[in-house]
C-alpha cells in the first residue's frame, strides 16, 4: 500500500518486492519517490541500506559452501532473518536447510502480501486520504527501535534523525537519507577520540616501580 500511495503501479510494486528483497531498502526507495526525489537518488539510498547484506553474504558463503552456479540465486535471500537462522545451526546441513526454508517461506510470503497490499490500495482509491504515506516511515521505525540497545547505537540513530529531518527543507528528496548515513562514521570517530583522550589521561604504569 505504501508504494501504491507513492505512485507506483501494481506491476512496479510487485517487481520491486521480487527484485529488492529487503524491507529497509524498499521503504527507503518508496519514501524518497513519494517525496518527489530523483529515482537515482532514491536508488542510492536504498543501496546503502542494503550494503549490510554483503557482509552477511561473506559469512554465509563460508557456512553454506554452495556451488558457484547456485550462489547468485542464494544471494537474493541473504537478509537479516536468513542470516540469523543460518548462524544458529550446528552443522552445515542444518545451515543449508535453515537458510533455504527461511528464505523460501519469507520470499513467498513477502511477495504475496505485497500483491495483496497493492490490490487493496487500488481498491480503496486515494491512498493519501488514508494517510498511507506515513506507513513506510512508521514501519521502518518500528523495526529499527528495538535494535538500538547500546548508547552508541542510540547516538547513531539520534544523529541520523537530526540530519535527515534537518536537511529535508534544504536538500532534494532522497538526499537527506544519504547524508544521514554519515551518522555512523561520525559517532565512531567521536567515540574513538573520546577513548583516545581517556587513555592519555591515565598514568602509564612503569614496570618495577612502586606507586
Instruction: State the SS3 of 72-101.
Output: HHHHCCCCHHHHHHHHCCCCHHHHHHHHHH
CA distance 81 to 172: 33
- Residue 105, pLDDT score: 95
Q: What are phi and psi of 66, to 5 degrees?
A: -80, 155
Where does the chain show beta strands of DSSP type E?
none
The residue whose grid cell reads 497490499 is: 117
Any idea what the Cα angle at residue 77 is, between residues 71 and 81, rounded to 5°?
A: 135
Helix (H) or strand (E) segment spanning residue 57: helix 52-64
pLDDT digits (tens, 9 = 90+) for 18-77: 988 887 788 777 777 766 667 777 777 778 778 888 889 999 999 999 999 999 999 999
- Residue 27, pLDDT score: 76
Other Cβ atoms closer than 10 A to 39: 11
Q: Which of the pair, 184 or 120, is modelled with greater confidence? A: 184
The answer to whether 10 and 118 have CB atoms below 8 angstroms apart is yes
The answer to whether 43 and 132 have CB atoms below 8 angstroms apart is no
- Residue 106, pLDDT score: 93
- Is the pLDDT at 2 greater than 80? The verdict is no
The answer to whether 25 and 143 have CB atoms below 8 angstroms apart is no
Task: Report residue 193 as a C-alpha cell.
Answer: 577520540
CA distance 178 to 32: 11
CA distance 35 to 41: 12
- Residue 77, pLDDT score: 93
- Residue 96, pLDDT score: 95
pTM metric for this prediction: 0.60
CA distance 122 to 132: 13
Q: Which of the pair, 10 or 130, is modelled with greater confidence? A: 10
What letter does residue 171 receive in the DSSP assignment?
Answer: S
pLDDT digits (tens, 9 = 90+) for 78-122: 998 899 999 999 999 999 999 999 999 999 999 998 888 888 776
CA distance 169 to 179: 13
pLDDT digits (tens, 9 = 90+) for 126-139: 555 555 556 656 66
Amino acid at each position: 500500500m505504501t508504494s501504491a500511495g507513492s505512485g507506483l503501479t501494481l506491476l512496479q510494486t510487485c517487481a520491486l518486492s521480487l527484485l529488492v528483497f529487503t524491507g529497509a531498502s524498499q521503504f527507503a526507495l518508496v519514501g524518497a519517490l513519494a517525496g518527489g526525489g530523483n529515482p537515482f537518488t532514491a536508488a542510492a539510498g536504498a543501496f546503502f541500506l542494503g550494503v549490510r547484506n554483503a557482509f552477511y553474504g561473506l559469512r554465509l558463503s563460508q557456512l553454506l559452501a554452495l556451488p558457484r552456479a547456485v550462489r547468485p540465486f542464494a544471494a537474493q535471500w541473504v537478509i537479516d532473518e536468513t542470516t540469523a537462522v543460518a548462524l544458529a545451526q550446528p552443522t552445515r546441513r542444518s545451515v543449508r536447510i535453515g537458510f533455504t526454508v527461511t528464505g523460501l517461506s519469507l520470499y513467498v510470503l513477502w511477495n504475496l502480501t505485497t500483491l495483496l497490499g497493492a490490490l487493496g490500495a487500488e481498491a480503496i482509491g486515494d491512498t493519501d486520504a488514508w494517510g498511507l504515506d506515513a506507513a513506510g516511515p512508521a514501519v521502518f521505525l518500528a523495526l529499527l527501535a528495538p535494535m538500538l540497545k547500546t548508547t552508541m547505537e542510540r547516538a547513531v540513530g539520534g544523529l541520523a534523525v537530526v540530519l535527515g529531518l534537518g536537511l529535508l527543507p534544504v536538500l532534494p528528496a532522497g538526499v537527506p537519507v544519504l547524508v544521514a548515513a554519515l551518522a555512523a562514521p561520525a559517532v565512531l570517530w567521536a567515540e574513538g577520540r573520546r577513548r583516545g583522550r581517556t587513555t592519555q589521561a591515565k598514568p602509564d604504569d612503569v614496570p618495577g616501580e612502586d606507586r
